């Protein structure tokens, strides 16, 4: 690749680039980190980290959160793992829950820059890292107490290291991830005629595959309820995932990446072609799985770097050495295009549900003895007391006391009760959220009078 093989900057340039990228990624990820409301999945992460008895396949997902709670001094004995009404009093808040994912998200940017320098070149890698630093989708999951930022780092670090291996070979032919990459390795060994190498490769593949299979089997057998969610009704309709992914990646980045793909195919550039296949592969794979099981847009976050990598490669590959200013100008325009969704992200409360505002409203208007129906984790955490149950349970509630219902319009987590029952038996008191920023942003507060 042009930028990867010429004009390699010195150490001073790399140090400056790392400093700039850390600042560029830290500012949006630290901005209002503790302001938005914690939602049910984040609280589930806190609970799993306090419980700290994960199955074999899941300890890495919660280790950062577990360490953060230990640093905070939150002991398991003083904070029962599934008693969220006690968590806030023990010092667990939005900032404490989210700073591990935030730090991982911040340092993901310079780490991928360093790995990408030997794959797509220093300048193209810098542009790709800058696009990633300003991407609202990655900022969102860096400000969320979940494991997707860590998953993103591992996935793309492995991808870049593999692509680096390809560029060091004389005739790289593998361009597809996972199964196709394994098949390519087998083909190489078979063609070489080295049977010992083939046996070593087969053992090297079968042993980790067997270990992973056993670990997953044990995890599923011990806690099958943790895995049934993937076989429920899909959240997104079929290939709607494709368009949602393009929206969060950013239309300018998607367009630039597709143009880069066309150029890579014409130039027969193996590395860029590999990125071209890696970019849409998770989105299409999960779209196909959506015909049978549950899919969500967040599962496709890992593909983001392939898109920004192609966009960064395009700027310097099209213009070349003779027009470096034009390359930087194109990169600047793509970065500026990322600032618009980032501005909308923070203007819209970080695309998060306005749960805390809804709870405050109920606390002001609630009378003594009135019951609360809300997600048990969210309700216990924000009200500091156990709630009566999930909102759907209110339809079968036989108590005569008045009740408040707090729920989102989203079809994940807390589900609202049947609409006809709600319209006939409850009064809409307030709606918190903004139009056009996603289903999870709208939180409804309804009131059921005493009977």
Contact 138, 150 (CB under 8 A): no
Given this model, what pLDDT does residue 275 score?
A: 87
pLDDT of residue 181: 54
Q: What is the pLDDT of residues 267-288, one digit of tens each?
A: 877 788 888 888 888 887 777 7
pLDDT mean across residues, the chain: 79
Beta bridge partners of 445: 406, 430
Q: What are the boundaries of each domain within the chain? A: 171-226, 355-448
Question: What percent of the chain is predicted at pLDDT more than 70?
Answer: 72
Looking at per-residue pLDDT, the higher value among 348 and 94 belongs to 94
Q: Is 41 or 35 the better-scoring residue by pLDDT?
A: 41
pLDDT of 218: 73
Residue predicted with more confidence, 179 or 8 = 8
Q: Which residue has the higher pLDDT, 73 or 198?
A: 73
405 or 417, greater pLDDT: 405
Residue 57: C-alpha distances to residues 229, 231, 332, 392 (Å): 17, 19, 41, 32
pLDDT 10s digits, 353-376 = 788 889 999 999 999 989 999 989
CB atoms within 10 A of CB 231: 9
Q: In terms of Cα–Cα distance, which of 114, 173, 102 is closest to 138?
A: 102
Can you tell me the distance from the alpha carbon of 126 to that of 25, in angstroms, rounded to the nearest whole number?
Answer: 12
Q: Is the pLDDT of residue 305 over 90?
A: yes
Q: Considering only residues 180 and 327, tell me which one the structure prediction assigns the higher pLDDT.
A: 327
Higher pLDDT: 39 or 417? It is 39
247-253: average pLDDT: 88
In the block, tokens 């990125």 appear at 275
Secondary structure string (H, E, C) spanning the chain: CHHHHCCCCCHHHHHHHHHHHHHHHHHHHHCCCCCCCCCHHHHHHHHHHHHCCCCCCCHHHHHHHHHHHHHHCCCCCCCCCCCHHHCHHHCCCHHHHHHHHHHHHHHHHHHHHHHHHHHHCHHHHHHHHHHHHCCHHHHHHHCCCCCHHHHHHHHHHHHHHHHHHHHCCCCCCCCCCCHHHHHHHHHHHHHHCCHHHHHHHHHHHHHHHHHHHHHHHHHHHHCHHHCHHHHCCCCCCCCHHHHHHHHHHCHHHHHHHHHHHHHHHHHCCHHHHHHHHHCCHHHHHHHHHCCCCCCCHHHHHHHHHHHHHHHHHHHHHHHCHHHHHHHHHHHHHHHHHHHHHHHHHHHCHHHCCCHHHHHHHHHHHCCCCCEEECCHHHHHHHHCCCCCECHHHHHHCCCCCCEEEEEECCCCCCCCCCHHHHHHHCEEEEEECCCCCCHHHCEEEEEECCC
Q: Is the pLDDT of residue 49 over 80?
A: yes
Give just the sign of the alpha carbon dihedral 147, 153, 156, 161. negative
Q: Is the pLDDT of residue 180 over 80?
A: no
CA atoms 393, 395, 399, 402: torsion sign: positive
Q: What is the pLDDT of residue 413?
A: 39
- Mean pLDDT for 324-336 is 75
Kindly indicate the confidence band of residue 383, based on its pLDDT and cuts at 50, 70 and 90. very high
Compute the distance between CA of residue 366 and CA of residue 429 in angstroms, rounded to an integer: 12
Residue 46's nearest CA partner among 112, 90, 109, 16 is 90
- What Å distances lie between residue 372 and 196, 399, 407, CA to CA? 67, 12, 11
The confidence band for 77, taking pLDDT boundaries of 50, 70 and 90, is low
**Can you tell me the distance from the alpha carbon of 351 to that of 148, in angstroms, rounded to the nearest whole number?**
16
Q: Among 194-198, 233-237, 255-259, 311-315, whose mean pLDDT is lowest?
A: 233-237
Is pLDDT of 148 > 80? yes
pLDDT band for 171, please (50, 70, 90 cuts).
Answer: very low
Phi, psi of 60 (to 5 degrees): -65, -30
78-92, 208-222, 243-257: the lowest-pLDDT one = 208-222
What pTM was computed for the model? Answer: 0.80
Q: What is the pLDDT of residue 58?
A: 58
Half-sphere exposure of 181 (CA within 13 A, CB side): 14
From the list 353, 345, 350, the residue with the least C-alpha distance to 414 is: 353
Write down the pLDDT at residue 182: 58
Decide if 295 contacts 289 (C-beta within 8 A): yes
Q: Which pLDDT belongs to residue 198? A: 63
292's CB contacts (< 8 A; 6+ apart) are 231
CA–CA distance, 29 with 52 (Å, rounded to integer): 27
Q: What pLDDT is attached to residue 432?
A: 86
């Amino acid at each position: 690749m042009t930028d990867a093989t010429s004009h390699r900057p010195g150490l001073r340039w790399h140090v400056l680039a790392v400093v700039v990228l850390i600042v560029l990624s830290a500012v949006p990820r630290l901005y209002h980190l503790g302001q938005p409301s914690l939602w049910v999945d984040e609280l589930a992460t806190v609970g799993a980290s306090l419980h700290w008895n994960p199955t074999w396949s899941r300890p890495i997902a919660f280790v950062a959160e577990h360490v953060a709670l230990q640093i905070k001094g939150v002991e398991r004995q003083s904070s029962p793992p599934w008693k969220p009404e006690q968590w806030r009093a023990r010092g667990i808040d939005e900032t404490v829950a989210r700073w591990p994912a935030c730090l991982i998200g911040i340092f993901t940017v310079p780490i991928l820059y360093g790995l990408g320098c030997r794959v797509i070149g220093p300048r193209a890698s810098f542009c790709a890292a800058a696009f990633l630093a300003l991407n609202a989708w990655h900022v969102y999951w860096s400000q969320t107490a979940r494991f997707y930022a860590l998953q993103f780092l591992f996935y793309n670090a492995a991808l870049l290291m593999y692509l680096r291996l390809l560029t060091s070979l004389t005739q790289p032919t593998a361009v597809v991830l996972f199964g196709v990459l394994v098949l390519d390795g087998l083909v190489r060994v078979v063609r070489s005629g080295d049977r010992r190498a083939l046996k070593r490769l087969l053992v090297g593949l079968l042993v980790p595959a067997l270990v992973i299979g056993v670990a997953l089997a044990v995890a599923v057998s011990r806690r099958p309820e943790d895995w049934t969610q993937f076989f429920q009704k899909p959240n997104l309709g079929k290939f709607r995932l494709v368009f949602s992914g393009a929206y969060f990646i950013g239309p300018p980045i998607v367009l630039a990446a597709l143009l880069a793909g066309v150029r890579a195919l014409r130039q027969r550039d193996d590395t860029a072609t590999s990125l071209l296949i890696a970019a849409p592969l998770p989105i299409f794979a999960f779209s196909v799985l959506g015909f049978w099981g549950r899919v969500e847009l967040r599962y496709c976050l890992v593909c983001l770097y392939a898109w920004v990598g192609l966009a960064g490669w395009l700027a310097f590959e099209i213009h070349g050495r003779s027009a470096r200013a034009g390359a930087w100008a194109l990169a600047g325009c793509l970065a500026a295009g990322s600032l618009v969704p980032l501005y909308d992200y923070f203007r819209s409360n970080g695309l998060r549900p306005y749960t805390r505002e809804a709870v405050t409203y109920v606390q002001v208007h609630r009378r003594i003895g009135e019951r609360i129906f809300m997600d048990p984790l969210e309700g216990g955490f924000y009200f500091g007391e156990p709630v009566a149950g999930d909102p759907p349970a209110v339809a079968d509630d036989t108590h005569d006391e008045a009740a408040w219902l707090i729920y989102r319009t989203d079809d994940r987590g807390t589900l609202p009760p049947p609409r006809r029952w709600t319209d006939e038996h409850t009064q809409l008191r307030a709606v918190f959220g903004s139009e056009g920023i996603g289903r999870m942003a709208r939180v409804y507060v309804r009131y059921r009078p005493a009977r």
